[in-house]
Every structure is written in structure tokens, then in C-alpha cells.
């Protein structure tokens, strides 16, 4: 079945005219129509829009006109990345009817590369959450066990790849929102270096942490899309001028002699024993490939979650202030004419009704931490701690080339299990937030399954702009293992 092939295999097949872009599109459309009622990965999906794009590409291909490297294969888009003429709601009532007037820079690149926009994937509202239960519209479920969460905030982006509904998917990662869902859903997810992919057209949550990321079945497919995603963008002041690499060309190099560190803090209290065993087995596999391991220490890891949730919430407080009902988006329908200050009451009612509980929680936390008398005690201290975390990681990368550890402390948890315990949910981000605080690249890749059949993901982190090395190491691991080839029953049709 075409929807079980990798993106790389689909591009090869279309290039060799073994099948057409329309046939590929039809295979994924069929899978979405067949399975998404069980998963809820997509918020918006229009089969005719998908097929029209595929037909246009096939006409170009048949006329021998030059075409882009994505060759008419589908790419799913998280509902936080602007697509011209399409609703970009951030899974929030606040932007439920907002139609983007422009394309994000990355969407422009994908269109130029002849990628097909498949649909808009579900997420935690404004990318705030780790379970995809904070969407204003529906809960996405894990394709491996629909009683469990897919992770968040890019839960729909990961779930659609795992469920065979998309070969490639775009997510965003502010504190682990690509890597945690990748781990929970058994796919590969990359958060690049901050500034590597333009953020123009990515709706802001926490501007110094947000990064567009890529989800796919394996490292080769991630590299394929990354090739089309990087490069300096003058429309994004944080876009790096560093020249992008050809990630596909360097994907298959030797990893023998590579030095990888495993922080002792990553294997301590709170880590699921089966995930700890997966780290040990992955280490053994990589050692057999010639990789050298050493134990390192990252004591600032224990401050990562607190630092992240202060910095991110403070930035969210400012970024989300624009949603007031005055210019665009949701506005309360309640009559506020009787209020002493009608404008202020309209703001209050609009934001109270338009935002969900988790978004309001973070706005309040950030506003409090930024307020007079608390700025120095909370926000300024968090910024200083962030710098210490960055310095500690920079020092570690003078000893080792990469850092290996778990992506998450536990496998996917049950729907509703942590919904009423935000602190427990936040602590699940302990291994992922430091990469965002430091701005370094990190990838999660499949490394096994629990006894109950849930995917396990491991994480590789590297110094800034080391995507080539991270992808090459992951690809080498995947050549020597088959965890990334495993698919849930809803894809293979196998009995549970």
C-alpha cells in the first residue's frame, strides 16, 4: 500500500513513474477518511483540495517541466503555521474563524518544492500542552492505543504520521512539542537549532523558544524535508545567516569514533524502567557501530522545567495580549454596555470566553511573574538560570559530540490521567525543555516498545547547527534496528 511507503520511496516511485502523485494522494486521503474518526489527527481536511494539487503536479510531471524535490507528496501542517486562504486557529476558539492572508515562509518553500498540503492537524491550544487534550475542538488519540494520548502540543502532527495518514508532517516545538509526541507515537521528530527554520508565519507562543520542527517515519525522511526548509529569511529577525547543508548528502557517513555522553541525571528517579533499559540497549547497539560513550553530568537539568515554564509563560503573556476581540478573532457576544468601562469589560469577557483553561493558566502565571515586585524574583532569575543551562551544555559539548537520553520519563499515558494535575504534566517535559532553553537541535527516534506495546523514544541532542551529525547518527541507528519500521494495527490491518 502506498501509504505505508516512506516519503523517500514515494518520491522515487513518482520520479520513476511507477505511480502518480494522484495515486499517492488518493492512498492518503483514503486512510484519513478510514481512520481519522478514531484518531482525530486533523482539524481540517479537504480531499478535493488535496487531489487538485496532485493533479496539477502530475500535469507538470507529464509535460517534463522541471519540478521540485518533494515531487507531489503530501505534507500535513500543524494548525499553528499560516497557510494563505486557510483557517489557522491554533486549536483555539479565539481564532476559530481566522483565515490567514499569507503563507508562512516554510509553506512557501514547500509549495515551491512541489509538496502537497494535506490538511491541518490538531494540537494543544496555542501549543500549550503535552497531551493534545487542550484543543478547543477535539482530543487526538494515540494510534497505538486510542485510550492514550499522542503527546503534545504537536499530537495531531505525530499521530497522522504514525497512523499512515501522512508521510511528512510539520509541527512546532517550544519545550518538546515535536519530540514528545514523536516518542509517544513511535515516529521520528526533529527540533532544529533555533533560527535554522524561519518562524515567519508561525503563530507565536514563546518567541525565544518556538521552533518549527519536522515529523516523519525515519531520519532519512526528516532530512529530505529539512533540505527544503532551511535558509536565511529576511522576514524573520531571528533567522540564522548560517548556510544550510545538504542533509541528504551527509546522511550515510560513518559514526565510528563518535563520542556520546549520557548524563547521569537522565537515568535517575522518575524514569520508567523499560525506558531506562531502552537507553542501555541503544547504547549497546551504537557501541557495536564504533561509538564511544562516557557518563557526563548536567546538574542544571533539575532546574529546566521551572525555568522553562517561567520564561515561556512570561513570553506567552505578552504574545497573547493581542487577542482582545478588538481587531480580529473571537469577540464576546455578551452585552457590556452596562459596564462602567465597556472596553475593558469587552476585553475581559472576550479573553475569558476565547481562551481555554491551560492558556489562561499560563497567561496568569506569566503576567504575575512580570509584575512589579516579582520581575526580579521570578523572570530575571529564570533568565539567569537559562544562561547557566546554556553554559553547562556548551561545556558538555567540549567533551562529547552528542548527548543521548530518554525523550520522556514515561510512555504515553491514559487520556484524562493528568488533565487535572498540571504539575505532573509539566514534569513530563524534563528531558526536552533544555534544548529549547539553549537553542540547540534535538531529535527523538523510536528505540523499542514497552511490554504493553507502547512506543519508546530516545533523544539525541547536539551543539548548535549540528543537524547533520544528529541525523547521520539517527540514520545509522535506524539502519541497525527496525523499531522505526513498526506500525500500529490501524495501518497494517493486523489484529490487535
Main-chain phi, psi angles of 132, to 5 degrees: 70, 20
Q: In angstroms, rounded to a whole number, what is the distance separating the alpha carbons of residues 300 and 190? A: 23
> Cα–Cα distances in Å, from 270 out to 137, 178, 275, 414?
32, 22, 11, 17
Q: How remote is the C-alpha of 187 from its chain's centroid?
A: 11
Q: In angstroms, rounded to a whole number, what is the distance separating the alpha carbons of residues 220 and 188? A: 10
Among 20, 100, 172, 177, the one annotated catalytic = 177
Q: For residue 78, indicate whether it is catalytic.
A: yes
β 442-449/188-191 pair status: antiparallel
Q: For residue 208, indicate whether it is catalytic.
A: no
Cell numbers placing 353 = 470566553
Among 89, 153, 172, 317, the one annotated catalytic = 153
> What is the Cα Rg of the chain in Å?
22
What lies within 8 Å, CB to CB, of 380 at 6+ separation is none
SS3 405: strand
Element housing 75 (H / E):
strand 74-78
Q: For residue 153, indicate whether it is catalytic.
A: yes
Which is nearest to 193 in space by CA: 472, 442, 468? 442
Give the CA diameter of the chain.
Answer: 74
Cell numbers placing 441 = 537541535
Among 6, 20, 21, 78, the one annotated catalytic = 78
Tell me if 393 sits within 8 A of 440, measured CB to CB. Answer: yes
Which is nearest to 89 in space by CA: 203, 176, 178? 203
The torsion of the CA quartet 16, 17, 22, 25, rounded to 10 degrees, works out to -30
Tell me if 116 sits within 8 A of 75, measured CB to CB. Answer: yes
**Where in the sequence numbering do the catalytic residues fall?**
78, 153, 177
Amino acid at each position: 500500500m502506498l501509504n505505508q511507503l516512506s516519503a523517500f520511496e514515494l518520491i522515487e516511485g513518482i520520479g520513476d513513474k511507477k505511480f502518480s502523485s494522484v495515486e499517492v494522494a488518493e492512498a492518503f486521503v483514503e486512510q484519513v477518511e478510514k481512520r481519522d474518526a478514531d484518531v482525530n489527527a486533523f482539524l481540517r481536511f479537504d480531499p478535493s483540495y488535496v487531489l487538485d494539487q496532485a493533479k496539477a503536479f502530475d500535469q507538470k510531471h507529464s509535460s517534463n517541466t522541471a519540478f521540485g524535490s518533494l515531487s507531489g507528496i503530501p505534507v500535513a501542517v500543524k494548525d499553528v503555521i499560516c497557510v494563505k486562504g486557510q483557517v489557522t486557529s491554533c486549536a483555539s476558539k479565539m481564532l476559530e474563524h481566522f483565515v490567514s492572508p499569507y503563507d508562512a515562509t516554510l509553506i512557501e518553500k514547500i509549495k515551491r518544492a512541489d509538496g502537497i498540503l494535506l490538511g491541518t492537524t490538531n494540537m494543544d491550544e496555542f501549543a500549550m500542552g503535552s497531551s493534545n487534550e487542550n484543543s478547543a475542538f477535539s482530543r487526538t488519540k494515540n494510534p497505538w492505543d486510542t485510550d492514550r494520548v499522542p503527546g503534545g502540543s504537536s499530537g495531531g502532527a505525530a499521530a497522522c504520521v504514525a497512523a499512515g495518514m501522512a508521510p511528512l508532517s510539520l509541527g512546532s516545538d517550544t519545550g518538546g512539542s515535536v519530540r514528545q509526541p514523536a516518542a509517544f507515537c513511535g515516529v521520528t521528530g526533529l527540533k532544529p537549532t533555533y533560527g535554522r527554520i524561519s518562524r515567519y508565519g508561525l503563530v507565536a507562543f514563546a518567541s525565544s523558544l518556538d521552533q518549527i520542527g519536522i515529523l516523519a517515519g525515519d531520519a532519512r525522511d526528516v532530512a529530505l524535508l529539512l533540505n527544503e526548509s532551511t535558509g536565511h529569511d529576511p522576514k524573520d529577525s531571528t533567522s540564522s545567516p548560517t548556510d544550510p547543508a545538504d542533509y541528504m548528502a551527509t546522511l550515510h557517513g560513518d559514526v565510528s569514533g563518535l563520542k556520546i555522553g549520557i548524563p547521569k541525571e537522565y537515568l535517575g528517579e522518575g524514569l520508567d524502567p523499560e525506558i531506562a533499559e531502552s537507553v542501555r540497549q541503544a547504547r549497546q547497539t551504537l557501541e557495536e557501530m564504533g561509538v564511544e560513550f562516557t557518563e557526563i553530568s548536567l546538574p542544571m537539568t533539575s532546574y529546566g522545567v521551572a525555568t522553562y515554564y517561567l520564561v515561556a509563560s512570561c513570553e506567552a503573556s505578552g504574545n497573547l495580549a493581542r487577542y482582545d476581540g478588538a481587531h480580529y478573532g473571537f469577540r464576546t457576544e455578551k452585552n457590556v454596555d452596562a459596564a462602567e468601562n465597556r472596553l475593558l469589560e469587552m476585553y475581559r469577557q472576550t479573553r475569558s470566553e476565547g481562551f481555554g483553561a491551560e492558556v489562561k493558566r499560563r497567561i496568569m502565571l506569566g503576567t504575575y511573574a512580570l509584575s512589579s515586585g516579582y520581575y526580579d524574583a521570578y523572570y530575571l532569575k529564570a533568565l539567569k538560570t537559562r544562561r547557566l543551562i546554556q553554559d553547562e551544555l556548551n561545556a558538555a559539548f567540549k567533551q562529547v559530540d552528542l548527548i543521548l537520553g530518554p525523550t520522556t520519563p514515561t510512555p504515553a499515558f491514559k487520556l484524562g490521567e493528568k488533565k487535572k494535575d498540571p504539575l505532573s504534566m509539566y514534569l513530563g517535559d524534563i528531558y526536552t525543555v533544555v534544548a529549547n532553553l539553549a537553542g540547540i537541535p534535538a531529535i527523538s527516534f523510536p528505540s523499542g516498545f514497552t511490554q504493553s506495546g507502547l512506543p519508546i523514544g530516545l533523544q539525541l541532542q547536539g551543539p548548535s547547527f549540528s543537524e547533520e551529525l544528529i541525523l547521520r547518527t539517527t540514520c545509522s541507528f535506524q539502519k541497525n534496528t527496525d523499531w522505526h519500521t513498526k506500525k500500529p494495527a490501524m495501518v497494517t490491518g493486523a489484529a490487535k
